[in-house]
Amino acid sequence: MTPPTPAPTAVGAQAPPERAERSGPPRARRRSSRAPGWIRRASLPYLLLLPALALELLVHLVPMVIGVVMSFKTLTQFYIRDWTTAPWSGFDNYRISVDFSAPVGKDLLDSFVTTCLFTVASVALCWLLGTAAAVFMQESFRGRGLLRALFLVPYALPVYAAVITWAFMFQRDNGLVNHVLHDQLGLGGDRAFWLIGDNSFYALLTVSVWKGWPFAFLIVTAGLQNIPKELYEAAAIDGAGVWQQIRRITLPSLRPVNQVLVLVLFLWTFNDFNTPYVLFGRSAPKAADLVSIHIYQSSFVTWNFGTGAAMSVLLVLFLLVVTGGYLLLTSRGRKSADV
Amino acid sequence: MSSPSPTAPPRSFVWSRRIFLTLLTGFVLLPVYVMASSSLKPLQDVSGRFRWLPSGLTVRPYLDIWKTVPLAKYFVNSLIVAGAATVLSVVVAVFAAYAVSRYRFRGKRVFTVTVLSTQMFPGILFLLPLFLIFVNVGNTTGVALYGSRGGLILTYLTFSLPFSIWMLIGYLDSVPRDLDEAAMVDGCGPLGALFRVVVPAAIPGIVAVAVYAFMTAWGEVLFASVMTNDTTRTLAVGLQGYATQNDVYWNQVMAASLVVSLPVVAGFLLLQRYLVAGLTAGAVK
């Protein structure tokens, strides 16, 4: 057989390991030459990992380190061509970011608080809808397969296509939402603006939940399949009804799944850029000014990358602390539950 | 699947289920209905007060979308970028997952944790530095990464990589080791075993990973908005071309949204079972 077809296309970032591997198979027979074979076998896993590692380093880890360096520089558009020449500024960027009495710091704080509120609300609703749907659909009924496929559509749709549709629905004069609320239900006096002003928070939340809950549904559905049926049978024999079974068996059994799910939902929602960006365009209204958008704007609109980098670093520190604390708390809970 | 309880559920449960699932279906399908119905409406239907039913059906929006903005160009760009990122990501992920699944080596845990943890960082954190790196690499070496498809491919490839590796480890673990051992006894090297035995046996999983990688690249907006220029613009940014003009042709926006969604939604729904198994394996383990 010829070498695998994907290999030629993969030449580039990972050329060296590829070549080393391709020369491997013919000589890799057992007992041919012991020492090189042994070395080859020991280094093979590392060679296999090399492309993935190199790419992660190049696109994620190195830029992160550079980002930290950038946050200590005065990096305006004049230094873009060669960022290393930008003058050092010590902790100035950080000082500006957290000086809550000045506009920059105050805006960042507002944006941060908005993001926290938004994230908590969105994660809670996603989890609730996902879990309820999964539990209701645990037992087979007619049309369940079709419904399951339908429920995954928001997850499968490209973000921009889905969100732009929502933006249309939220239009003040020709959107569906105002048509239903104002024309059909006769609520409120004037047609409301949904994409500017305070209402934008709820518009964003709606879209975010619509897009996010199917993932919770997926994960919880999978988690439900791991619950042994004997548990339900035993409970039914003991006379527990469906509602009681859900409360006593289903929800407690989902605990480990929920621990991962909530963390993933939290990180995705908190860092979400695509939804607000497509929904509001480059300038998000204050009520829906998520921190990702905020940093993007303060970098690419004002062309001050140093302050943007400092804000990013602060954001990551926050996420690290929250994630670390969460993992510590939940794993401790899990351990004591096991005992 | 069989019902967990031997007795039929009570009416309260059945009715709650019916009401809840009906409402939820409505919520889920509402935008899909708006997208599909508005894409067939004449312009006056979408610029005036919203109408549930079109006053007349027309396919004009589907013909006009290609002229209002260069949608075909964006489409091709998206196909190239997402396609290349998918192929590369799958190849790299298969190698890495094979190593983790079949070998014991020092640093294995560190590797999986590190790779997965890159998922938690906000894109905005490395967007700015990556942008600068691309610009500077272009200035010093002449290799244009900023504004090129290559730069975007490289970036997207790493976006799907962590989850792809994670999913594939699960799939490869489920391929019996006896298979590759038998292949090695027959004279295959470890890589021969990987490509002749393990990869064919894990094809459903690999296809699922490919769909996931494609979806990720097809739907990304942030990096596309910064890293592309007029010639390399992808759909994620190009679609906003209809919306930033003075007159928004909402029927065309909806038609274009539908057209760009079809490839991924169709792929996802066709391969749903494999994808769902892969996506959920990690969390449930």
**Alpha helix (H) residue ranges in chain A:** 6-9, 15-22, 24-27, 34-56, 62-70, 92-98, 103-136, 144-151, 153-156, 159-169, 176-178, 200-225, 229-237, 242-245, 251-253, 255-270, 274-280, 291-300, 305-338
Q: Which of A85-94, A238-247, B120-129, B263-272 has the lowest mean pLDDT?
A: B120-129
Q: Is residue A75 part of a domain?
A: no
Q: Between vectors from CA A278 to CA B268 and to CA B212, what angle results, nearest 5°?
A: 20
Q: Shortest Cα distance from B184 to chain A (angstroms)? A: 8
Q: Is residue A77 part of a domain?
A: no
What is the predicted pLDDT for the residue at A27?
A: 44
Residue A74's CB is within 10 A of a number of other CB atoms, namely 18
Q: Does residue A81 have a pLDDT over 80?
A: no
Question: Span A182-201, mean pLDDT?
Answer: 86
Asked if A290 contacts A115 with a C-beta cutoff of 8 angstroms, the reply is yes
What is the predicted pLDDT for the residue at B245?
A: 56
What is the predicted pLDDT for the residue at B231?
A: 87
Confidence of residue B282 (pLDDT cuts 50, 70, 90): low
Asked if A258 contacts A278 with a C-beta cutoff of 8 angstroms, the reply is no
Question: Span A5-29, mean pLDDT?
Answer: 39
Domain-wise residue ranges, chain B: 69-241
Q: For B63-73, write each residue's pLDDT tens digit.
A: 999 988 899 99
Q: What is the CATH number of the domain that holds A166?
A: 1.10.3720.10
Both A255 and A151 in a single domain? Answer: yes
Question: Span A38-54, mean pLDDT?
Answer: 83
Judge whether B258 is closer than 8 Å to chain A, CB to CB. Answer: yes
Both A171 and A308 in a single domain? Answer: yes
| Overall pTM surpassing 0.90 (yes/no) | no
Contacts of B27 in chain A (CB under 8 A): 210
Number of domains chain A contains: 2
Which residue among B184, B261, B272 places its CB closest to the CB of A149?
B272
Instruction: Place domain B69-241 in its CATH homologous superfamily.
Output: MetI-like (1.10.3720.10)
Confidence of residue A127 (pLDDT cuts 50, 70, 90): very high
Confidence of residue A26 (pLDDT cuts 50, 70, 90): very low
Domain housing A315: 93-338
User: CA A174 to CA B47: how far, in whole Å?
Assistant: 6
Both A165 and A33 in a single domain? Answer: no
Question: Span A94-114, mean pLDDT?
Answer: 90
Token reading at A52: 């993935």
As a whole number, the mean pLDDT across chain A is: 83
What is the predicted pLDDT for the residue at B246?
A: 66
Q: For A139-186, write each residue's pLDDT tens digit.
A: 888 899 899 999 999 999 999 999 999 999 999 888 999 899 888 888
Question: Which of A14, A72, A119, A168 would you mutate first to test chain B, the one with the most B CBs within 10 A?
Answer: A168
Nearest residue to A73 via CA among B209, B115, B132: B132
Both A113 and A16 in a single domain? Answer: no
User: CA B39 to CA A77: how far, in whole Å?
Assistant: 42
Contact (CB<8Å) A261/B268: no
Contact (CB<8Å) A164/B276: no
- Regarding an ipTM greater than 0.95, the answer is no
Both A40 and A181 in a single domain? Answer: no
**List of long-range contacts for A26-31, beta carbons under 8 Å, 24+ apart:** A26/B189, A27/B189, A28/B189, A28/B190, A28/B191, A28/B192, A29/B187, A29/B189, A30/B184
Q: Is residue A81 part of a domain?
A: no
- Domain edge (last residue) among A20, A36, A51: A51
Residue B42's CB is within 10 A of a number of other CB atoms, namely 15
Nearest residue to A55 via CA among B224, B88, B112: B88
Confidence of residue A35 (pLDDT cuts 50, 70, 90): low
User: CA B149 to CA B145: how far, in whole Å?
Assistant: 8
Question: Span B32-44, mean pLDDT?
Answer: 93
Q: Which of A198-212, A228-242, B122-136, B257-271 has the lowest mean pLDDT?
A: B122-136
Confidence of residue B244 (pLDDT cuts 50, 70, 90): low
Write the single-letter amino acid at B57: L
Q: Which of A2-16, A58-72, B8-22 has the lowest mean pLDDT?
A: A2-16
Q: Does residue B283 have a pLDDT over 60?
A: no
Computed on alpha carbons and rounded to an integer, the radius of gyration of chain B in Å comes to 23
Q: Does residue A19 have a pLDDT over 50?
A: no
What is the predicted pLDDT for the residue at B229?
A: 87
Residue A299 burial by CB count (10 A; 0-12/13-18/19+): exposed, middle or buried? buried
Percent of chain A residues topping a pLDDT of 90: 34
Confidence of residue A336 (pLDDT cuts 50, 70, 90): low
Both A200 and A290 in a single domain? Answer: yes
Q: For A226-270, write each residue's pLDDT tens digit.
A: 888 888 889 888 888 888 889 989 999 898 888 889 998 999 999
Asked if A274 contacts A212 with a C-beta cutoff of 8 angstroms, the reply is no
Both A43 and A115 in a single domain? Answer: no
Question: Span B128-133, mean pLDDT?
Answer: 84
Contact (CB<8Å) A179/B120: no
Nearest residue to A237 via CA among B6, B11, B9: B6
Percent of chain B residues topping a pLDDT of 90: 36
Contact (CB<8Å) B129/A309: yes
Question: Span A80-101, mean pLDDT?
Answer: 83
